[in-house]
């Protein structure tokens, strides 16, 4: 069980909404007269964007973006208009399993539907896009950390203790297991033997928390190598 010291500040918006059910009707006619960011607290902001649901609907509204930890792993709330609009819009709720993807303010998140896993639990943010995509969801930790700029994280280790990585290539999504990282990813990166060897040998800066940088290097390699199995 997660031990979150700042749970009261972080989860308050969700507790009051927990008794509501599925998303409201699609907001096809909603327009945004006010596109300002609404900052709920130090950990969460709401910004205008769109959400694709598994039932085929597209919902536009003010959607949550974490300012400390990327991704979502709980039933979350959103609004069909700016939360401070008049009349005040009602809170809407949606479960992660009901969501296909969320696009808001340069962020793209997707529900991680891994083959063989029955329950969808994580809406992860895409941090690497290319022949291999990398998605990340991080659990809150004792000391809150601001999300680093995505570009900066591509060249360093993620700062989160409890992070969940997923990679996708040619439409095939898998979860990267921390416990078997060296074996799993050295096999996954076999199109680039030099990089695969660094991972399997645990070379400095080629560990689990360096996955964004590792895949960025891999994508650059196969993108410049003809016939590399893209």
- 160-211 pLDDT, tens digit per residue, is 888 999 999 999 999 999 999 999 999 999 999 999 999 999 999 999 999 9
Q: Are 70 and 137 in contact (CB under 8 A)?
A: yes
DSSP 8-state assignment for residue 28: T
- Tell me the whole-structure pTM to 2 decimals: 0.80
Beta bridge pairs of residue 72: 123
- The pLDDT mean for the chain works out to 83
Note the pLDDT of residue 87.
93
- For 115-150, what is each residue's pLDDT tens digit? 988 889 999 999 999 999 999 999 887 666 666 666
> What is the four-CA torsion angle of 172, 174, 176, 182, rounded to 10 degrees?
-60
Instruction: Identify the three-state secondary structure at position 86.
Output: coil
Look up tokens 């918006």; give the residue: 13
Q: DSSP letters of 164-228? A: EEEEEETTEEEEEPSTTHHHHHHHHTTTSHHHHHHHHTT-TT-SGGGHHHHHHHHHHHHHHSTTS
Averaged over 25-53, what is the pLDDT?
A: 73
């Amino acid at each position: 069980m997660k031990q979150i010291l700042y749970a009261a500040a972080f989860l308050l918006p969700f507790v009051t909404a927990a008794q509501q059910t599925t998303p409201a009707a699609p907001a096809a006619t909603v327009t945004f007269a006010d596109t300002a960011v609404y900052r709920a607290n130090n950990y969460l902001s709401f910004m205008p964007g769109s959400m694709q649901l598994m039932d085929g609907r597209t919902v536009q509204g003010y959607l949550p973006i974490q300012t400390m930890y990327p991704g979502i792993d709980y039933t979350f709330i959103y609004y069909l208009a700016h939360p401070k609009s008049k009349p005040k819009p009602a809170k809407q709720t949606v479960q992660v399993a009901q969501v296909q993807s969320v696009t808001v303010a340069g962020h793209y998140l997707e529900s991680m539907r891994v083959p063989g896993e029955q329950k969808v639990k994580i809406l992860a943010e895409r941090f690497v896009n290319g022949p291999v995509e990398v998605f990340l969801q991080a659990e809150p930790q004792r000391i809150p950390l601001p999300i680093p700029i995505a570009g900066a994280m591509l060249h360093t280790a993620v700062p989160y203790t409890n992070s969940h990585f997923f990679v996708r290539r040619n439409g095939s999504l898998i979860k990267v297991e921390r416990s078997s990282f060296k074996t799993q990813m050295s096999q996954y990166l076999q199109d680039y033997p030099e990089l695969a060897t660094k991972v399997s040998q645990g070379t400095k800066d080629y560990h689990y928390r360096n996955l964004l940088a590792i895949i960025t290097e891999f994508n650059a390699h196969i993108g410049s190598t003809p016939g590399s199995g893209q």
